[in-house]
Amino acid sequence: MGHSDRILFLARLIPGGAWKDALLERHLERCPECAARLATREETRRLLVGAADVGGLEGIWPAVRAAIAAPGPRRPEVSRARIPAWRWMTAAAGLALAVLLTWTAVRTFQPGAGLAGFDVSSVAASAAETESVPGDVQLSYIRIDNEPARAIIYKPHDANLVLIWAGRN
Protein backbone atom coordinates (compact mmCIF):
# COMPACT_ATOMS: atom_id res chain seq x y z
CA MET A 1 0.00 0.00 0.00
CA GLY A 2 1.55 3.25 -1.14
CA HIS A 3 1.68 6.57 0.64
CA SER A 4 -1.29 8.09 -1.21
CA ASP A 5 -3.34 4.90 -0.73
CA ARG A 6 -2.81 5.09 3.03
CA ILE A 7 -3.86 8.75 3.12
CA LEU A 8 -7.00 8.08 1.07
CA PHE A 9 -7.83 5.09 3.30
CA LEU A 10 -7.51 7.25 6.42
CA ALA A 11 -9.62 9.97 4.79
CA ARG A 12 -12.39 7.41 4.11
CA LEU A 13 -12.47 6.58 7.82
CA ILE A 14 -13.21 10.18 8.81
CA PRO A 15 -16.93 11.04 8.91
CA GLY A 16 -18.13 14.34 7.51
CA GLY A 17 -17.02 16.07 4.35
CA ALA A 18 -15.59 19.18 6.01
CA TRP A 19 -13.19 17.25 8.25
CA LYS A 20 -12.12 15.03 5.38
CA ASP A 21 -11.49 18.05 3.13
CA ALA A 22 -9.50 19.82 5.86
CA LEU A 23 -7.36 16.72 6.43
CA LEU A 24 -6.59 16.25 2.74
CA GLU A 25 -5.92 19.96 2.21
CA ARG A 26 -3.53 20.11 5.15
CA HIS A 27 -1.75 16.96 4.00
CA LEU A 28 -1.37 18.21 0.42
CA GLU A 29 0.08 21.50 1.67
CA ARG A 30 2.74 19.75 3.76
CA CYS A 31 3.59 16.57 1.84
CA PRO A 32 5.97 17.14 -1.10
CA GLU A 33 5.28 13.68 -2.56
CA CYS A 34 1.55 14.28 -2.78
CA ALA A 35 1.95 17.90 -3.91
CA ALA A 36 4.11 16.73 -6.83
CA ARG A 37 1.26 14.52 -8.05
CA LEU A 38 -1.19 17.46 -8.30
CA ALA A 39 -1.94 18.88 -11.73
CA THR A 40 -0.53 22.28 -12.67
CA ARG A 41 -2.68 25.19 -13.91
CA GLU A 42 -1.59 24.62 -17.49
CA GLU A 43 -2.58 20.94 -17.30
CA THR A 44 -6.00 21.81 -15.94
CA ARG A 45 -6.59 24.54 -18.56
CA ARG A 46 -6.01 21.97 -21.31
CA LEU A 47 -8.75 19.80 -19.77
CA LEU A 48 -11.37 22.55 -19.43
CA VAL A 49 -13.66 23.58 -22.26
CA GLY A 50 -14.61 27.22 -22.72
CA ALA A 51 -17.65 28.74 -24.49
CA ALA A 52 -15.44 29.88 -27.38
CA ASP A 53 -14.25 26.31 -27.91
CA VAL A 54 -17.77 24.84 -28.27
CA GLY A 55 -19.55 27.31 -30.58
CA GLY A 56 -23.15 26.97 -31.77
CA LEU A 57 -24.75 27.67 -28.38
CA GLU A 58 -27.27 30.18 -29.75
CA GLY A 59 -30.14 27.66 -29.62
CA ILE A 60 -29.50 26.43 -26.11
CA TRP A 61 -31.20 29.25 -24.17
CA PRO A 62 -34.49 29.10 -26.08
CA ALA A 63 -34.55 25.32 -25.47
CA VAL A 64 -33.91 25.82 -21.74
CA ARG A 65 -36.60 28.51 -21.57
CA ALA A 66 -39.12 26.24 -23.32
CA ALA A 67 -38.36 23.37 -20.94
CA ILE A 68 -38.88 25.64 -17.94
CA ALA A 69 -42.18 27.00 -19.26
CA ALA A 70 -43.55 23.56 -20.26
CA PRO A 71 -46.38 22.17 -18.09
CA GLY A 72 -45.86 19.03 -16.05
CA PRO A 73 -43.73 17.96 -13.11
CA ARG A 74 -40.78 20.25 -12.73
CA ARG A 75 -38.81 18.20 -10.30
CA PRO A 76 -37.79 14.70 -11.17
CA GLU A 77 -39.27 11.90 -9.14
CA VAL A 78 -36.77 10.56 -6.69
CA SER A 79 -36.93 6.85 -6.17
CA ARG A 80 -35.88 5.58 -2.78
CA ALA A 81 -33.07 3.12 -2.75
CA ARG A 82 -34.53 -0.22 -1.74
CA ILE A 83 -32.65 -2.41 0.67
CA PRO A 84 -32.54 -5.98 -0.60
CA ALA A 85 -34.45 -8.59 1.40
CA TRP A 86 -31.32 -10.64 2.10
CA ARG A 87 -29.82 -7.70 3.98
CA TRP A 88 -32.93 -7.41 6.16
CA MET A 89 -32.83 -11.15 6.79
CA THR A 90 -29.12 -11.03 7.66
CA ALA A 91 -29.70 -8.17 10.10
CA ALA A 92 -32.64 -10.00 11.70
CA ALA A 93 -30.61 -13.21 12.02
CA GLY A 94 -27.72 -11.31 13.62
CA LEU A 95 -30.09 -9.63 16.07
CA ALA A 96 -31.70 -12.99 16.94
CA LEU A 97 -28.27 -14.54 17.50
CA ALA A 98 -27.23 -11.66 19.77
CA VAL A 99 -30.44 -12.02 21.80
CA LEU A 100 -29.96 -15.79 22.08
CA LEU A 101 -26.33 -15.47 23.19
CA THR A 102 -27.20 -12.77 25.72
CA TRP A 103 -30.09 -14.83 27.12
CA THR A 104 -27.87 -17.93 27.36
CA ALA A 105 -25.10 -16.00 29.09
CA VAL A 106 -27.48 -14.45 31.60
CA ARG A 107 -29.15 -17.80 32.37
CA THR A 108 -25.86 -19.73 32.62
CA PHE A 109 -23.79 -17.28 34.61
CA GLN A 110 -26.27 -16.14 37.24
CA PRO A 111 -24.67 -15.65 40.64
CA GLY A 112 -25.09 -18.78 42.74
CA ALA A 113 -26.61 -20.79 39.90
CA GLY A 114 -23.60 -23.09 39.45
CA LEU A 115 -22.93 -25.15 36.36
CA ALA A 116 -25.39 -27.79 35.19
CA GLY A 117 -24.25 -31.28 36.16
CA PHE A 118 -21.72 -30.15 38.78
CA ASP A 119 -21.71 -29.88 42.55
CA VAL A 120 -20.12 -26.58 43.43
CA SER A 121 -19.01 -25.43 46.83
CA SER A 122 -16.80 -22.54 47.81
CA VAL A 123 -14.60 -23.00 50.85
CA ALA A 124 -12.65 -20.33 52.66
CA ALA A 125 -9.85 -22.40 54.10
CA SER A 126 -7.39 -21.46 56.77
CA ALA A 127 -4.80 -23.42 58.70
CA ALA A 128 -7.23 -24.30 61.50
CA GLU A 129 -10.27 -25.24 59.34
CA THR A 130 -11.24 -28.71 58.26
CA GLU A 131 -14.35 -29.08 56.11
CA SER A 132 -16.00 -31.92 54.28
CA VAL A 133 -16.69 -31.16 50.60
CA PRO A 134 -18.64 -33.04 47.90
CA GLY A 135 -17.35 -36.48 46.98
CA ASP A 136 -15.77 -37.37 50.34
CA VAL A 137 -12.81 -35.09 49.75
CA GLN A 138 -11.43 -33.46 52.87
CA LEU A 139 -9.69 -30.15 52.65
CA SER A 140 -7.62 -29.31 55.72
CA TYR A 141 -6.10 -26.06 54.56
CA ILE A 142 -4.79 -24.28 51.48
CA ARG A 143 -2.02 -21.72 51.61
CA ILE A 144 -0.56 -19.50 48.90
CA ASP A 145 2.67 -17.68 49.78
CA ASN A 146 2.21 -18.83 53.38
CA GLU A 147 -1.20 -17.09 53.68
CA PRO A 148 -4.70 -18.62 53.87
CA ALA A 149 -6.32 -19.04 50.45
CA ARG A 150 -9.83 -19.44 49.04
CA ALA A 151 -10.68 -22.71 47.27
CA ILE A 152 -13.38 -23.56 44.76
CA ILE A 153 -14.13 -27.25 44.30
CA TYR A 154 -15.90 -28.80 41.29
CA LYS A 155 -16.95 -32.44 41.20
CA PRO A 156 -18.75 -33.71 38.08
CA HIS A 157 -21.64 -36.08 38.90
CA ASP A 158 -20.53 -39.12 36.92
CA ALA A 159 -16.76 -38.86 37.22
CA ASN A 160 -14.07 -39.93 39.62
CA LEU A 161 -12.57 -36.49 39.44
CA VAL A 162 -12.46 -33.54 41.80
CA LEU A 163 -11.09 -30.21 40.57
CA ILE A 164 -9.81 -27.71 43.13
CA TRP A 165 -8.91 -24.13 42.24
CA ALA A 166 -7.18 -22.01 44.82
CA GLY A 167 -6.87 -18.24 44.87
CA ARG A 168 -5.68 -15.54 47.18
CA ASN A 169 -8.18 -14.04 49.59
Cα dihedral 140/143/148/153 (nearest 10): -60
Q: Which residues pair with 123 in a beta bridge?
A: 151
Residue 104: inside a domain: no
Which letter does DSSP use for residue 125 in this model?
Answer: -
Residue 10: strand, helix, or coil? helix
Residue 150: inside a domain: yes
Among candidate residues 85, 108, 109, 89, the one with its CA nearest the CA of residue 97 = 89
* Residue range of the domain that includes 125: 118-168
Residue 67: inside a domain: no
Q: How far apart are CA 69 and CA 72, in angstroms?
A: 9
Q: What pLDDT digit, counting tens, does each position of 107-163 carry?
A: 887 655 544 444 444 444 433 344 444 446 677 778 888 888 888 888 777 777 888
User: How confident is residue 1, by pLDDT bands cut at 50, 70 and 90?
Assistant: low
State the chain's mean pLDDT as an integer.
76
Tell me the mean pLDDT in the region 82-98. 92
- Give the list of residues 6+ apart from residue 141 with CB closer than 8 angstroms, or none: 125, 126, 127, 128, 129, 130, 148
**What domain count does the chain have?**
2
Residue 11: inside a domain: yes
Residue 147: inside a domain: yes
At 73 the pLDDT is 66
Residue 156: inside a domain: yes
* Phi-psi domain of 86 (left: phi exceeds 0; alpha: psi -120 through 50; beta: other): alpha
Residue 18: inside a domain: yes
Residue 163: inside a domain: yes
Q: What pLDDT digit, counting tens, does each position of 93-123 carry?
A: 999 999 999 999 888 876 555 444 444 444 4
At 125 the pLDDT is 41
